[in-house]
Structure 1
Amino acid sequence: MKKILIIQNKRIGDVLLASLIATNLKKVFPDSVIDYMVYDYTTGVIEQNPAIDNIIEIKEKELKKIPVLLKTAFNVRRKKYDIVVDPYAKFQSRVITLLSGANTRIGFKKREKNPPLPFYTHNISFLKEKSKPCGKSIEDRVHLVTSVYDIKNPVYEPKIFLTDKEEQYDKLNQYNKPVIMFGILGSTPQKSMPYDYIVKLIDFVTENYDVYALFNYAPHQKEDAQTIYNQCKHKEQIIFDIYEESIRGFVLLMNKCNLLIANEGGTVHIAKALNKPTFTIFSPYVLKEHWASFEDGKKHTSIHLLDEKPDLFSTDREQRKKIEEDPTFLYKQLTPDIIIPKLDAFLRQHFQ
């Protein structure tokens, strides 16, 4: 029986996507025990996953302390894993992987021109370009496994698993219209649209569709969410008093919504893993080909400034200066007038 450890010390979306490593390793080693080491606030997207036997929770800030890192590494070593997979290849995860003592250590080779580092026995190159509808980020993670082990039919679709009790989540039962989850704020300012743009999108949806809008945001963004809500015209169609602070709570809430409209991020991957339609607004600073997954223009679609105004991404010196002086410069160019026609076409497919 193989003992396997996957280390994904990154954020929610990455943890969900990297769960495919466990899914595919179970196809190779069905009797294996697979442990998944993640930050404690991300576990909600992998609970109940049948490919993951144990979730090892770590604290992000604590792991950056050298004594804690070394203690964690030696705890891992004592468990005598046969295989360790490190899809993020961060300093902390590299140290844990190297000190694990595992005979098979798999990770990405971050710089092609440099010689392989000793952290891994298998240094895997990133794919040069995507070839599947799942997007490059997912394809790269599955590639970590298929580069080492022969898998006839790899799994490329992340899934979130719910218990029967969780399926009975009832906080939206009182609402008799479709509910649209709005991811109104990105995880960082660089992933968030200007507030007045967000308000215009919400107003467009609530004016033209007989639906409720439900806001999603991080707990520390509540004041910003309130500011956006105060500017909206149709507050009677906005559900503002239902909110889940935990990731698992959000999963249950999203599972009862009809679809998601959001800035690109973990919530989009969660909605897709729950088989919910998504409209994604990409930050101009994010590579769409890496993170846009399963887009068919119907169930899943997105918008990126590069597709609409490619000239803005020129290497012109004056243009670069504008971007450097104002990190939100490019996002301001992705106006509601550009987004709304594509959003309207998406919504008409689902509500008319």
Structure 2
Amino acid sequence: MGEKRQRFLIAVLRFHGDVLLTTPVIGEIKRIYPDSIIDLLVYSGTGSILKFDDRINSVLEAEASADSNFIKIAFKEILLLRKLSNTKYDFGIFLTTQWRMALMARCLKGARTTGVDDLKRRKPFWIKSFSSISPEAGDGHI
């Protein structure tokens, strides 16, 4: 009987360059867990930069909050949160510090999750949303 394939969610809600900078994380996961399944969560339109990367199982897209009206954003966000909740992730890696990342991490029931430290986010809701918090790199970069 084989080992269970580890399933990862890497979330980076920023722009094309930041999405591209996730490739070392993807590479390291694949080095350690060669049979892992990796999903990438990005802003709509930014995932195309990695669409041909065969290490990625699927690219999930979130709406940037300024792009639509409130009702449309809320509806799409609920659908996304439901999808995250229904997918059995083992690990969640949240590389940006928007408050919605904390909510998304809470949807990954049973997964080990990590978020990025941020002075503005050091509130109980943020801290308790993740299994661990990675230190901030400084100068606005992670």
TM-score > 0.5 by shorter chain:
yes
Measure how far apart 1:119 and its partner are: 1.4
Query: Whose relative contact order is higher, 1 or 2, with alpha carbons under 8 Å and at least 6 apart?
Result: 2
8 Å CA contact retained: 2:63, 2:76 = no
Instruction: Look up the SS of the partner of 2:45 in the other structure.
Output: helix
Could you tell me which amino acid in structure 1 is paired with residue 100 of structure 2?
Q
Instruction: Look up the SS of the partner of 2:11 in the other structure.
Output: strand
Q: Which has the higher helix share?
A: 1
Counterparts in 2 of 1:2 and 1:113: CA distance versus 1, 3 Å: closer
Mapped to 2, the partners of 1:113 and 1:41 lie a distance apart of 27
Match of 2:87 among 79, 83, 87: 79
Give unpaired runs (5+ residues) of structure 2.
none
Query: Which one has the largest radius of gyration?
Result: 1
Within the alignment, does 1:119 sit opposite 2:129 as a pair? Answer: yes
Match of 2:117 among 95, 100, 109: 109
8 Å CA contact retained: 1:62, 1:68 = no
Q: Deviations over 1:135-179 (max 9, x none)?
A: x84xx4xxxxxxxxxxxxxxxxxxxxxxxxxxxxxxxxxxxxxxx
8 Å CA contact retained: 1:73, 1:100 = no
Tell me the equivalent position of 1:40. 44
Could you tell me which amino acid in structure 2 is paired with residue 123 of structure 1?
I
Mapped to 2, the partners of 1:62 and 1:94 lie a distance apart of 22
Within the alignment, does 1:17 sit opposite 2:17 as a pair? Answer: no
8 Å CA contact retained: 1:6, 1:36 = yes
- Number of aligned residue pairs: give it: 132
Counterparts in 2 of 1:14 and 1:113: CA distance versus 1, 3 Å: closer
Within the alignment, does 1:54 sit opposite 2:58 as a pair? Answer: yes
8 Å CA contact retained: 2:10, 2:94 = yes
Instruction: Look up the SS of the partner of 2:109 in the other structure.
Output: coil
Measure how far apart 1:35 and its partner are: 0.4
Tell me the equivalent position of 1:27. 31
Mapped to 1, the partners of 2:121 and 2:61 lie a distance apart of 35
Could you tell me which amino acid in structure 1 is paired with residue 56 of structure 2?
I
Q: Which has the higher strand share?
A: 2
Measure how far apart 1:46 and its partner are: 0.9
Could you tell me which amino acid in structure 2 is paired with residue 88 of structure 1?
T
Superposition map of 1:1-352 within 5 A: 1-60=5-64, 61=67, 65-111=73-119, 114=122, 117-127=127-137, 137=141, 140=142
Instruction: Look up the SS of the partner of 1:76 in the other structure.
Output: helix
Measure how far apart 1:6 and its partner are: 0.9
8 Å CA contact retained: 1:108, 1:126 = yes
Counterparts in 2 of 1:113 and 1:105: CA distance versus 1, 3 Å: closer
Mapped to 2, the partners of 1:63 and 1:126 lie a distance apart of 32
TM-score, structure 2 normalization: 0.78
Instruction: Look up the SS of the partner of 1:41 in the other structure.
Output: coil
8 Å CA contact retained: 1:69, 1:92 = no
Q: Deviations over 1:104-131 (max 9, x none)?
A: 01110112994661111011111358xx
Q: Deviations over 1:300-347 (max 9, x none)?
A: xxxxxxxxxxxxxxxxxxxxxxxxxxxxxxxxxxxxxxxxxxxxxxxx
TM-score, structure 1 normalization: 0.34
Could you tell me which amino acid in structure 2 is paired with residue 86 of structure 1?
F
Give unpaired runs (5+ residues) of structure 1.
130-135, 141-352
Cα RMSD for the two superposed structures: 2.6
Measure how far apart 1:70 and its partner are: 2.5
Counterparts in 2 of 1:46 and 1:102: CA distance versus 1, 3 Å: farther
Identity %: 17
